[in-house]
Amino acid sequence: MEKRVRVRFAPSPTGGLHMGGIRTALFNYLFAKKHGGDFILRIEDTDQTRFVEGAEEYIIESLKWCGIEPNEGVGFGDGRYAPYRQSERKNLGIYKIYANKLIASGHAYYAFDTTEELEEMRKRLEAAKVVSPQYNAVSRQNMRNSLTLAEDEVKKLLEQGAKYVIRLKVPRNEEIRFNDIIRGWVTFNSAQVDDKVLLKSDGMPTYHLAHIVDDIEMEITHAVRGEEWLPSAPAHILIYRYLGLEDQIPKLAHLPLILNPDGNGKISKREARFPVFPLSWKDPRESMPYIGYKESGYYPEAFINILALLGWNPGNNEELFSVEQLSQLFSFERVHKSGAKFDPEKAKWFNQQYLRAKSDHELSHLFKPILKEKGYEKDDAFMIDFCKLVKDKVQFVYEFWDHGKYIFEAPTSYDQKVITKKWNNTCGTLFNSVLITFNSVNNWTSQNINNAFEELLKTTGKIDVQLLRVLITGVAGGPQLFDMLALMGKDEVIKRLELALKINN
RNA sequence: GGCCCGUUCGUCUAGGGGUUAGGACACGUCCCUUUCACGGAUGAAACACGGGUUCGAUUCCCGUACGGGCUACCA
């Protein structure tokens, strides 16, 4: 029988989780759902110096908002493999057990070097024009570790409680290859891999040891992570091998990165002229919060849809998918190898598609609080008509205000470009007759206004409709004119027209 | 610098030894519209370059260029 699929999203709580992280979580989620497996949230908080207050809560809230909730792990009810926080798992002693196993088999060793000594080594190697200075099979011979020190001296140091780290003993020249689900066979030489620290001097494991131990203990079947991990993958292969667990290595999938739309490189929160965080993120170390997709008016469904299509596609021309559909279609085989530039313009289009799919009723509820903030309150019937009228002009709910505010507010100025171009001395009498005509409309509906207007045209000849629009709303564009006038109400229209004629005459 | 990964319209991408190289966003033009949109139609726009392999390469191989990632007692 096939093993139950178990994948984990394993961020470190060192800051806000951005869209790249969400996409990694999403692909994990989709894969788990597709195979009826488990999606686990594990918190990799082994670096105590980089811990950021609120980051863990933020990760959990973000996943919830996106609708891609883990079914196991921190913030999601824990589970059979608890705890899911590495700082807590450390107290179980498991990392040390694995590290000691590696020491016992001769594949890891104690290193007593201080930061200064390491710095010195680096300088020395650089001076000697060594291409990549690192703690490895060659340089370790000149350092203070259990490979160079006499056995009784090592023993003495350990007994004295000297500070030490445990390092992986990487062979000098060995080919290491593995099969990545997305990239196929990838080959490295161990000469480029340094003797990675497995256990730090504070007793905490590094990522390299911790994630492997946890993946083993939690029976993870697929390790899905960003491309930035590719270079350290060979070290991870060696750790499994030296643990005698090479057959238990999860299937590896290294995702392509999400790149900046302009310029190059990974998306960065500072440079971006678009949101990079799902929710507003206030970093305790910085004064200004970063606005999120949520606050920018994006629907989570749209946000997820955009992300899903960055580096993956189902192979046909469709682009609009619900999370459920995505989890049916998803496969790593269809994930790209190359990075994808994020396009904020297309992101807006996606949101528009989701907005259009919503009913006028639903939109009216979403817009109501925004309108209230502007100081206006209208009944449901009005709100629904309003949304229907303005809907196809907007990409975000808040834009209902931008594209429809003149329905609520009389103009304080008139588009001068239109006025200068179109207003002439016949306009005063012309639009006065419009005023009289409007006044005579009894049942103030769009159709009746239109009929009356057409009737008027028979005697007056052409009347510039755009100019009429400007006289009533102040601006040259907007929703269907007569529909809008009907919604505004007869009194309001008459009032505005009278005012406009007074001012522009 | 070294190592690894990558490269189809401006962007996201489909495709894959023989195609008019398809779609979407954005952009242009036209139609609809007495206004504004939506919508419809249409246009411009790509296989990084050089060598192979082959009857034939955008597709396979090798180089080059370019881009990205990594190069910590960070993840």
pLDDT tens-digit map of A330-354 = 999 999 999 999 999 999 999 999 9
Is A220 among the domain residues? no
Is A143 among the domain residues? yes
Is A83 among the domain residues? no
At A110, which CATH number? 3.90.800.10
Question: pLDDT tens digit string along A314-333?
Answer: 999 999 999 999 999 999 99
> A207, A235, A202: which is closest to A107 by C-alpha?
A235
Q: Which of A12-16, A219-223, A463-467 has the lowest mean pLDDT?
A: A463-467
Catalytic positions of A are 269
Average pLDDT, chain A: 94
Question: pLDDT tens digit string along A425-434?
Answer: 888 889 999 9
DSSP 8-state secondary structure symbol assigned to residue A176 = E
Domain end among A174, A209, A244: A209
Same domain? For A307 and A349 the reply is yes
The spacing between the Cα labelled CA in A120 and the C1' in B61, in angstroms, equals: 45
> A280, A262, A282: which is closest to A344 by C-alpha?
A262
> Is-contact A395 A352, C-beta < 8 A?
yes
Whether residue A310 is predicted with pLDDT greater than 70 in this model: the reply is yes
Same domain? For A469 and A366 the reply is no
At A456, which CATH number? 1.10.10.350
Range of the domain at A496: 416-504
Residue A95, pLDDT score: 98
Is A225 among the domain residues? no
Is A238 among the domain residues? no
Nucleotide with the nearest C1' to A13 CA = B75
* Number of independent structural domains in chain A: 4
Residue A263, pLDDT score: 65
Residue A94, pLDDT score: 97
Is A495 among the domain residues? yes
Residue A1, pLDDT score: 61
Is A305 among the domain residues? yes
Q: Indicate if CB(A296) is under 7 A from strand B.
A: no
Q: Indicate if CB(A462) is under 7 A from strand B.
A: yes
Whether residue A462 is predicted with pLDDT greater than 90 in this model: the reply is no
A83 upstream amide cis, omega within 30 of 0: yes
Ranges of beta strands (E only) in A82-214 are 108-111, 165-168, 175-180, 184-189, 197-199
The spacing between the Cα labelled CA in A141 and the C1' in B64, in angstroms, equals: 39
Ranges of beta strands (E only) in A143-183 are 165-168, 175-180
Is A154 among the domain residues? yes
CA A379 to chain centre: 36
First to last CA, chain A: 86
Percentage of chain A exceeding pLDDT 70? 99
Same domain? For A99 and A193 the reply is yes
B7: residue with closest CA to C1': A338
Question: Identity (one letter) of the amino acid at A359?
Answer: S
Same domain? For A268 and A341 the reply is yes
Mean pLDDT for A391-416 is: 92
Band the pLDDT of A70: cuts 50, 70, 90.
very high
Same domain? For A167 and A184 the reply is yes
Same domain? For A271 and A317 the reply is yes
Question: Identity (one letter) of the amino acid at A57?
Answer: E
In sequence order, the β-bridge partners of residue A222 are A7, A251
Question: pLDDT tens digit string along A369-387?
Answer: 999 999 999 999 999 999 9
Same domain? For A451 and A377 the reply is no
Whether residue A421 is predicted with pLDDT greater than 90 in this model: the reply is no
At A380, which CATH number? 1.10.8
